[in-house]
Structure 1
Amino acid sequence: MKRNFMDRVIDSIEWLAAIFVGLVAADIFISVVLRKVFNTSIPDSYDFGRLLLGILIFWGIAATSYRGTHITVDLVWSSVGPRMKRAIDIFATLVLMFVVTVQTAMLFDKVRGTWNDNVLTYDLNIPTWPFFAIAWAGDVCAVVLIGIRTWRLIFQPELLSSKPETQANE
Structure 2
Amino acid sequence: MTQRVLIRGLEGLVALLLLALIAVTAVDVVGRYLMNAPLSGAFEMTELILGALVFAALPLVSKSGSHVEVDLLVSVLPTRVNHRLGLAAAAISAAVLVYFAWQLGRLGLNQLHEGSRSVSLGVPYWPFAALGAVCCLLAAWFGIRRAVRT
TM-score (ref. length: structure 2): 0.83
Query: In angstroms, what is the RMSD of aligned CA positions?
Result: 2.2
Q: Which runs of 5+ in 2 are unaligned?
A: none
Structure 1 alignment gaps of length 5 or more:
158-170
Kept in 1, the 8 Å contact 2:94–2:143? The answer is yes
SS of 1:77 mapped into structure 2: coil
Q: Tell me the TM-score normalized by structure 1.
A: 0.74
What SS is found at the alignment partner of 1:46?
helix
Instruction: Return closer, same or farther for 1:131/1:35 CA change in 2, 3 Å cut-off.
Output: farther
Give the structure 2 partner of residue 123 of structure 1.
Answer: 120
**CA deviation digits over 1:5-53, x for unaligned, max 9?**
4344334434433332332232222222222222223332222111111
Which of 131, 134, 147 aligns to 1:134? It is 131
- Asked if 1:49 corresponds to 2:46, the answer is yes
Dislocated runs of 4+, deviation >3 Å: 5-12
Residues 143 and 18 from structure 1, CA distance in 2 versus in 1: closer, same or farther, beyond 3 angstroms?
Answer: farther
Kindly, what percent of the aligned residue pairs are identical?
A: 22
Q: Against the structure 1 CA distance between its residues 120 and 6, is the aligned structure 2 distance closer, same or farther, given a 3 Å change threshold? A: closer
Query: Please, which of 116, 133, 143 is the counterpart of residue 146 of structure 1?
Result: 143
Task: Assess if the C-alpha contact under 8 Å between 2:52 and 2:128 holds in 1.
Answer: yes
Give the conservation status (yes or no) of the 8 Å contact 1:101–1:143.
yes
Give the letter aligned to residue 93 of structure 2.
L
1:100 counterpart residue number: 97
